[in-house]
């Protein structure tokens, strides 16, 4: 339903994900949104975004930098979908800008805990700005269904959360920014912040300490950029202990194209067990008492999704949720807030450090 006033969006960084946001927003146009501006220094990305906007009948203002976009004053909301290492500076400029802009920032919030903390502290002083972090896996229908099952206490008190991501290697990005830890924060920050966020949700707790083992064993070994070989790990096991005694485990492999599912999630409580499979979109759950015979299997769907896109409809629902928060003028806070963004990065940073040091790393250690 188009409700009252038009909400005008700007997208900062219109590479793969920025353009994906543009298409998602186009599918939300009946909700009263329009993309009116983009900022990106890379001409090919600008051109691709312009062509997309043209096909949506959206005239765009095009800027090379985020500051010009903010100063133009044409946007109410900005989506930050530039490379990870640019998030900090861009977020600080948005937060310190005289004109309020609500922000949807792609994960990871920033590449370091110190930068995340600075953003969290600065944003706290801007009550007129809503910030949502793009930890969108929560919205994938099978994941959302499993969250609902866990919240209903059908499985009892959650003790173990295991997430397996077995997938293809990192894609090629503009100027190959994702090939180096210094730009991404490291694989366990860059992509696994999604899964650490989910583990917190399932466990209903905060992390205490992290132990990880990982390496760069197969991918990118024959690539060289400006004389340097990529340093991003392509497989790891990570164990996380939570403050309520529950445990999480991540099994990441990025040379596993031969998998049926990209993500397999298993959540076990003292009463039962639940599983979610992406992209099969299957959820299975059962109790210890009912055993295998009582197992239920369902196909998870969400008929609000008008565009599946690259992430099984989760980007669409993420935008829908953020739009509702914006229209509610702060009475309904964004579902994924800055604290979620910070802690998901802190777990990733602790896991990267654990690999480097070969020992457990406490969350306290990386938070100070
Ligand atoms: N939610 C998800 O699952 C998901 C998936 C993919 C990427 N991402 C995130 O989205 C972000 C972008 O990733 P991508 O895959 O689109 O990368 P990309 O390389 O395809 O696009 C990045 C774009 O940002 C532009 N850019 C670089 N510096 C900029 C700056 N200072 N200001 C404005 N634009 C700038 C580049 O020119 C490029 O066009 C990253 O933070 C990434 O982690 C999230």
How would you list the strands of the sheet with 102-106, edge to edge?
61-63, 33-39, 7-12, 77-80, 102-106, 131-134
Q: What residue numbers bound the domain in which 202 lies?
A: 137-306+343-366
pTM of the predicted model as reported, rounded to 2 decimal places:
0.97
**Count of domains forming the chain:** 2
Q: Looking at the structure, do residues 159 and 205 belong to the same domain, yes or no?
A: yes
Shared domain check, 25 and 125: yes
Query: Residue 154: which CATH number?
Result: 3.30.360.10
Distance (Å, rounded) from C-alpha 279 to C-alpha 281?
A: 5
175 in the same domain as 159: yes
Residue of the nearest CA to atom 18 in ligand 1? 15
- Secondary structure (3-state) at 90: helix
In a shared domain, residues 126 and 144: no
- Clarify whether residues 301 and 167 are in a common domain: yes
pLDDT at 1: 45
List average pLDDT for each run of 10 residues in the chain, which is 368 residues long. 79 98 97 97 98 95 98 98 98 98 98 98 96 97 98 98 98 98 98 98 98 98 96 98 98 98 98 98 98 98 96 97 92 90 98 98 96
Ligand 1 midpoint to CA 100 (Å)? 23
Residues 179 and 77 in one domain: no
> Which backbone phi and psi does 349 adopt, to 5 degrees?
-65, -45
Residues 187 and 253 in one domain: yes
Which CATH number goes with the domain that contains 319? Answer: 3.40.50.720
Atom 11 of ligand 1 has which residue's CA nearest to it? 81
CA-closest candidate to residue 106, choices 83, 123, 137, 130: 83
Q: Is 234 contained in some domain? A: yes
Do the domain assignments include residue 349? Answer: yes
Alpha helices in the chain (DSSP H): 16-27, 43-55, 66-72, 87-95, 113-124, 141-151, 181-184, 187-190, 193-203, 314-327, 338-357, 363-367
**Could you give the 3-state DSSP secondary structure of residue 130?**
coil
- The tokens for 244 are 């309520």
Distance CA 83, CA 254 (A): 20
Same domain (yes/no): 324, 189 = no
Specify whether 347 is located in the same domain as 319: no
Q: Which of 13, 112, 189, 278 to mutate to test the pocket of ligand 1 (most atoms within 8 A of CB)?
A: 13
| Listed residue (275, 243, 242, 240) closest to 261, CA to CA | 275
Answer yes or no: is 1 within a domain. Answer: no
Check whether residue 58 and residue 146 sit in a common domain. Answer: no
- Substitution candidate for ligand 1 out of 81, 88, 94, 198 with most atoms within 8 A of CB: 81
Domain co-membership, 190 together with 301: yes
Q: Do residues 184 and 239 share a domain?
A: yes
Assess if residue 2 is contained within a domain: no
Asked whether residue 291 is domain-assigned, the answer is yes
């Amino acid at each position: 339903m188009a409700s009252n006033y038009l909400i005008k969006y700007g997208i900062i960084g219109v590479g793969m994900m920025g353009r994906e946001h543009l298409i998602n927003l186009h599918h939300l146009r009946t909700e009263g949104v329009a993309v009116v501006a983009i900022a990106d220094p890379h001409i090919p990305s600008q051109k691709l975004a312009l062509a997309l906007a043209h096909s949506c009948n959206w005239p765009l203002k095009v800027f090379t930098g985020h500051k010009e976009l903010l100063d133009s004053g044409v946007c109410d909301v900005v989506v930050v979908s530039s490379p990870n290492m640019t998030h900090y500076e861009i977020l600080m400029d948005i937060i310190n800008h005289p004109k309020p802009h609500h922000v949807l920032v792609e994960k990871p919030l920033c590449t370091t805990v110190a930068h995340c903390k600075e953003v969290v502290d600065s944003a706290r002083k801007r009550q007129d700005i809503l910030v949502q972090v793009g930890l969108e896996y929560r919205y994938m229908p099978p994941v959302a269904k499993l969250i609902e099952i866990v919240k209903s206490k059908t499985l009892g008190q959650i003790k173990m959360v295991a997430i397996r991501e077995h997938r293809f290697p990192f894609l090629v990005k503009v100027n190959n920014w994702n090939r180096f830890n210094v730009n991404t924060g490291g694989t366990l920050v860059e992509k696994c912040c999604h899964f650490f966020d989910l583990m917190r949700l399932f466990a209903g707790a905060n992390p205490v300490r992290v132990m990880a083992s990982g390496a760069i064993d197969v991918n990118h070994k024959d690539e060289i950029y400006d004389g340097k070989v990529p340093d991003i790990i392509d497989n790891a096991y990570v164990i996380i202990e939570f403050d309520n005694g529950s445990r999480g485990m991540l099994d990441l492999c990025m040379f596993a194209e031969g998998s049926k599912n990209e993500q397999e999630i298993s959540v076990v409580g003292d009463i039962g067990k639940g599983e979610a499979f992406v992209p099969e979109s299957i959820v299975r759950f059962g109790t210890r008492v009912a055993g295998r015979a009582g197992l239920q299997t369902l196909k998870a769907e969400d008929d609000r999704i008008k565009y599946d896109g690259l992430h099984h409809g989760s980007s669409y629902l993420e935008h829908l949720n953020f739009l509702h928060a914006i229209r509610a003028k702060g009475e309904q806070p964004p579902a994924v807030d800055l604290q979620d963004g910070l802690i998901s990065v802190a777990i990733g940073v602790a896991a990267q450090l654990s690999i480097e040091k070969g020992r457990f790393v406490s969350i306290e250690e990386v938070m100070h």
